[in-house]
Structure 1
C-alpha cells in the first residue's frame, strides 16, 4: 500500500493506492482519519487506514500539491558511506560503525518541488537513498525486533553542497542548506516490500542519464542493523526518519566532477516504490529569509 500526504484547495489530505489508483479525501470531507504525519505519530495501523481510503473518491495527482510524508520529523538521521562502491570512489576503508549525521526539517522539500542551488556554491551534488520512517518508539531495540518499529519506506535525494560539506570533519553545513532534501513522493507500507526493503534496485538519474545503479542488499549496515545501533544511544520516536546512505556514482567522485545545475532534473527510483523527481533552480534573493 502507498499512502500519500497532500494538500488540495488549502486543506490537508490523505490518499492510498493499492495498485488500482489513488483514492482519498481532505479534512473537509466526512470520514477524514487524520493526516499521514498525525497517524504516524499516533502509531495508527496505516495498512488498515489505506484500505479504508480505497472506497473514497478517485484522486488526480496533477490536481493536488504533494507534501513530504513527514514534513517536520522529530529527527532526521542520515547514514554516510553505507555502500561499498561509494566507499571505493571516496577512497575510504569499510567502516565498523555507521557514520551518522543529522539533517533538519528546514532542508526538506516534496516531490516535484525545486531543489535550490545556493548562490554561495556550484557544487550541488545528488545522492539517491532509501528512507525509513519510524512508527513506534523504542530505545535499545534488538535487531530481530527492529522492523516492528518501521511505519514504512520512502525515497530521498540527500542533495549536498560538497565544498561546504568538506570544509570541516563535520558534515552538518553541507547537508542542510534550505530546500536540498527531497523526500517522497509517498510512504510505502512494509507489507508491500521485502523485509527491511532488502534487495531492491535503486537508481539515481540526472536528466535521464543513469548515474547511480545498485541494490539495497549492498547496504553495509542494513535497516534492522541501523535501527539497533542508532537506538543504543538515541530513542527513536514515531515520525523519525533514517536516511540509509547512497550508492556509488555521486557527481563529486566523477572525473571530471558532475554537479547539478539550474534546469537539471534528478530522479530517485527504487524498485516497487516508485520515483521521486525534482528539478534544480538557482536560489533567488526573495527565497532567502531575513
Structure 2
C-alpha cells in the first residue's frame, strides 16, 4: 500500500493494523521534519519493519515507489488536507491564528519560494490571480491592492490585518475566517499543490495492480475538481471503475470529534 501524504502516520498505521502480518506501507511526505517525528514515533514498535518512509514530493511517486519495490500495489491513498502538525507545531505561517513568519513551505530545504517572497515581490496582477484562482476569493483585487500597499509584510498577523482592511465588515462575521482563502491561495502557490496532484494521479494508477484502489481525500473544490475529472476520464477509457458516485462526506459525529474534517470529500476508484 502507498500513503502519498503520510504525515504523522494516522492512515498508514491504521492500514498496517489491517494488512498484518506481512503487508507493507510506503509512506511518502515532502516535509522532512514531520517525517522524522513519525520515524521516532514508530521506532521500536511492531510497525517499524513494515513501514518504509521516504521524504519526497508525490509528484515523483512512480520513481520513489519503484525504487523501494512498491509496484502492483493494493492501494494508493492521498489525504490532501493540511495536517494539524503544520498548523500547530511547524512555526511556518500556515495558521492565521498564530504570529509566525510568512513561510508556508512544506519543505524549506528544497523550495526557495516563500509566501513572504510572493507577498513582497510579485506584481499586483499576479497576487490577484492566485487569490482568485487558488483561493476563489471574491475580494481578490481589493486584497491584492492592500497587500501591495502594506509592504513589507513579514508575519501572518500583518497579512491578516491587510486582508481585514481590504474587506467589508460583514465579511468578518462569516463562519469561515475572512483570511482563510488568502492563506489557502498562498499555500497552494508556494507548494505548487495543484500541479503536483495532476502529475501524481496518473502515476498512482500505474502503480496499482488490477483490482487495486485509488482513494483521494480532498478538502476544497479545486483539488476535488482535479480528482473528479481525472477519475471520470479514466472511467470513460475503461481503466477504472468509480466506487463513489458522489464523494463521501464525514458524518456529523465525525465532524464533532474532528471539526477540521468538515470539508473533507473522499473519492475512490478501483483499477480494472
Flag whether TM exceeds 0.5 (same fold).
no
Interval of TM-score (by shorter of Structure 1 and Structure 2): under 0.3
Which one has the bigger helix percentage? 2
Considering Cα pairs closer than 8 Å and 6+ residues apart, tell me whether 1 or 2 has the greater RCO. 1
Which one has the bigger strand percentage? 1
Q: Under a length normalisation based on structure 1, what TM-score does the superposition of the two structures give?
A: 0.25
